[in-house]
Copies of this chain bind each other. A is one copy, B any other.
């Protein structure tokens, strides 16, 4: 049995297409014919929207030499008959994640810990902030820190710089780790499906500003956070993960914020992990997440 033990390189193929017979077969047969071993397979068929989603982790047998170009060309031909949108990701690869942050550093600190210990298999080519406060933290991790303050007047110009940094660093993902500026509609479109925001409420409750104060005024008994893809429509992007904890009347807004910090960290980290492990599909205004 030793010949099928995991080897270092594993791959993930994700694919979606209109529902029709043969959608699983076209992928699994190809992998078998090419001599790959399937570690895990998970599919979902949305019977409302007639759309099919599949995620497969697989690996080569030791003898096989993986040729990415050949794979993509050959599989692409078969997939096109199904109008399949698909992607292939191969490990070991560290996703490049640009983090944007303002003054609250709990999510940043949490992501940096997971980065430096390898809990999240990522590189962080840049941290961008509209405030100078968190430069020391970035420095201690040897990560470039870009301080780009934003006023109403400078917003277009500064956002252009932000986008330039994202492009230059070839970011796979942008994480808004409590970045308290609303991105322009244009920026949202450019980053569609590539930017995750953490909102400190259980959306759709308490959209917009100061959600912990809104939650306090409403007298909620559960406080939560929501990680979602950024979209043009504020706090309306596809939800990836949500977290929650019990509270009571004795929680003032600052107490909700304190409890919320832990929830935000965990909820955002889970979303980032799902993204870099290619577990998420955008699906209209929603997401399909094959979570571990």
Contact = CB atoms under 8 A, between A and B. Distances in A.
A248 interface: yes
Contacts of A204: 205-206, 218, 220
B37 A40 contact: no
Contact of A29 (B29, B205, B219): B29
A86 to B, nearest CB: 16
A92 interface: no
Per DSSP, chain A at the interface is mixed
Nearest to A273: B258
A181 interface: no
Contacts of A246: 246
Given A41-B43, A119-B258, 12 more contacts: A21-B35, A21-B37, A21-B61, A42-B42, A44-B250, A202-B222, A218-B285, A219-B239, A220-B242, A244-B244, A249-B289, A250-B292
Interface residues of A, number: 77
Contact of A24 (B19, B22, B38, B239): B38
Contacts of A102: none
Q: Which residue of A38, A106, A119, A239 has the most chain B CB atoms within 10 A of its CB atom?
A: A38
